[in-house]
A and B are shown apart, each in its own frame.
Chain A
Amino acid sequence: MTKYVDQGKNDTRSGYGAGMTELGRTNPNVVALCADLIGSLKIQQFIDENPERFFQIGIAEANMMGIAAGLTIGGKIPFTGTFANFSTGRVYDQIRQSIAYSGKNVKICASHAGITLGEDGATHQILEDIGLMKMLPGMVVINPCDYNQTKAATIAIADYEGPVYLRFGRPKVANFTPVDQKFEIGKALMLNEGTDVTIVATGHLVWEALTACENLEAQGISAEVINIHTIKPLDSEAVLKSVKKTGCIVTAEEHNYLGGLGESIAGMLATQHPTPQEFVATQDTFGESGTPAQLMEKYGLNNKAIEKAVLKVMTRK
């Protein structure tokens, strides 16, 4: 299989911070908002270099979403920053009315998504955010896989006109995509061509999928691995092309199976090319405290879970 090298583990939120630093230097309309989590969102450098373009909102996420909507009136491109839980569920109606329905050019940037936020526990581990955001008409939903891709996505969404939800996380994860990649919204990336099964993953589970692919190869199974960094709009063409070849699919995401990437793909395949599918995702449950690795193991989100799902789905062909 195609070899991917971890250039050194890094957190995707730092990729966001690095992207913001670059945008601060290149796009004078970009403004950053934060609800008392500057350190967590890694945007101190943006703030140091552009103090007049930073808005510290305080612990008031609803107000932050409204202010972001207002800032677009006058040509600004606001990037809001807080944890994924407080970026979505807490402020759903503010996003729905003042941003999505109003068609405002706001970038909702959400760190600490999913269960790998770790020790803080389920109050902060949102596993429903992709579903919440993808259901909003016109909302683009992006979940990049590593530091480099998060940086590239952050920069790319500034040039897209319209509301975007950008999801990233807390833990350091493998950083294996090219340093200066160009990020294309809605374009799936083929990472490894295979013939027996399609694995479509998003976020840092892409790395888990690559690890699973390597292990499966040793068992004589040829897995095709696709990185879907954009959940909406979904690159249906890439998925269809792959499943027409392999005949079965495993989707992998750090999210509830209800409402996530897997559900989007299942819905698309049901109408266009019904295909056996297994979901690597949380099973309609809340998380709990623990280390990211422990939680991924317990909730079935790691490469071993993907391998198991592959073996199962292949029997259903």
Chain B
Amino acid sequence: MPKMEDLQDIVVQTRRDILRMVHKVNSGHPGGSLGCTEFFVALYHELMELKEGFDMDGMDEDLFFLSNGHISPVYYSVLARRGYFPVDELNTFRLIDSRLQGHPTTHEGLPGVRIASGSLGQGMSVAIGAAQAKKLNGDSKLIYSLHGDGELQEGQNWEAIMYASGKKVDNLISTIDLNGQQIDGSTDDVLPMGDIKAKFEAFGWDVLEIKEGNNLEAIIKGMQEAKSRTGKGKPVCVLLHTIMGNGVDFMMYTHAWHGKAPSDEQLENALGQNAETLGDY
């Protein structure tokens, strides 16, 4: 297990990557990316059992599916720094002829990505399919997926949520990024979703919460608990309470940075709060 300080160094470097990527092209989604940075780092550097290299079928390794594809900056940074593709390629984010499209895709053959996402609400169905393929193949590894809370407003999720419990897809851990924000404002203002925990439980899922979703130790502990609950006849849902824009003071607690890049001055300020650890790309 990597030391917590080492993981924290990756977190800080990932924040720098996210900020620099969206700043360079003056587009992209820093808020949700920063909010999920600790989760991604914990997932790819501690929790998931991964093979070396990348192949699409991903037999005998854990697989991850990102449903809310707009947080591609954090995904790309973590994949690159986990060794799926050269870190330098982060320079090409959202540029013409790049494998790092605005939203993740398999279309340009970027290692680490197994499905296109961005049009919301589709990822849980895909994750369920991959989980069922693992069962058919006698593969005991797990499927992880991540979804935005606002994304749960898409109806396809509820088809998938009903199916996963009804068909006992118990090799699946779906995490909901509960940051309470979406493009137009807070989720409560845009469309109140009520008690998400109660809804998942009513649909027959095993639900647990990680209250400190930006605390590495809390995430690892919570996700290990989630892993221990797999294989027991129910899909597992993790409600991850995060702070959008975490790690950059002026981006926190607001939806304003959902899809907005920082100015030169703002970037300097933000990077000043996150001193280089592993070296910028």
Contact = CB atoms under 8 A, between A and B. Distances in A.
Interface of A: 31, 52-53, 55, 57-58, 60, 62-76, 78, 93-94, 96-98, 101-104
B129 A69 contact: yes
B126 interface: yes
Contact of B132 (A71, A75, A94, A103): A71
Interface string B77-103: 000000000000000000000000000
Given A63-B159, A69-B126, A102-B106, A55 B119 contact: no
B127 interface: yes
Contacts of A71: 129-130, 132-133
A73 B63 contact: yes
B162 A60 contact: yes
Given A97-B116, A102-B116, A70 B159 contact: no
B162 A76 contact: no
Contacts of B57: 73-75
B128 A67 contact: yes
A67 B118 contact: no
Contacts of A69: 115, 125-126, 129
Contacts of A102: 105-107, 115-116
Given A63-B163, A66-B122, A71-B129, A76 B156 contact: no
Interface stretch (B9-17, B37-45, B134-142, B255-263): B134-142
Nearest 3 A/B pairs, CB to CB: A70-B129, A66-B125, A74-B133
Nearest to A58: B163
B118 A70 contact: no
Contacts of B136: 31, 52-53, 74, 76
B155 A62 contact: yes
A80 to B, nearest CB: 11
Given A67-B132, A94-B122, A73 B139 contact: no
B124 interface: yes
A60 to B, nearest CB: 4
B58 interface: yes
B107 A68 contact: no
Contacts of B107: 101-103
Contacts of A96: 119
B241 interface: no
Interface residues of B, number: 40
A27 to B, nearest CB: 13
Contact of A70 (B121, B132, B166): B132
B125 A73 contact: no
B137 A66 contact: no
Contact of A65 (B56, B106, B125, B167): B125
A284 to B, nearest CB: 28
B7 interface: no
B117 A97 contact: yes
A96 B117 CA distance: 11
A77 B248 CA distance: 45
Interface in B45-69: 56-59, 63, 65
Given A62-B156, A67-B163, A102-B106, A75 B133 contact: yes
A53 B136 CA distance: 8
B131 interface: yes
Nearest to B160: A63
A60 B119 CA distance: 18
A157 to B, nearest CB: 19
A57 B163 contact: yes
A72 B59 CA distance: 12
28 contacts: A53-B136, A55-B132, A58-B162, A62-B155, A62-B156, A63-B125, A63-B159, A66-B122, A66-B125, A66-B126, A66-B128, A67-B125, A67-B129, A69-B125, A69-B126, A70-B131, A70-B132, A73-B56, A74-B58, A74-B134, A75-B57, A76-B136, A94-B122, A97-B116, A97-B117, A97-B119, A98-B115, A103-B107
B132 A97 contact: no
B117 A66 contact: no
B114 interface: yes
A70 B133 contact: yes
A253 to B, nearest CB: 30
A94 B116 CA distance: 10
B115 A62 contact: no
B271 to A, nearest CB: 34
Contacts of B132: 55, 67, 70-71
Nearest to A67: B129
A76 B128 CA distance: 13
B85 to A, nearest CB: 18
Interface string B217-256: 0000000000000000000000000000000000000000
Contacts of A104: 115
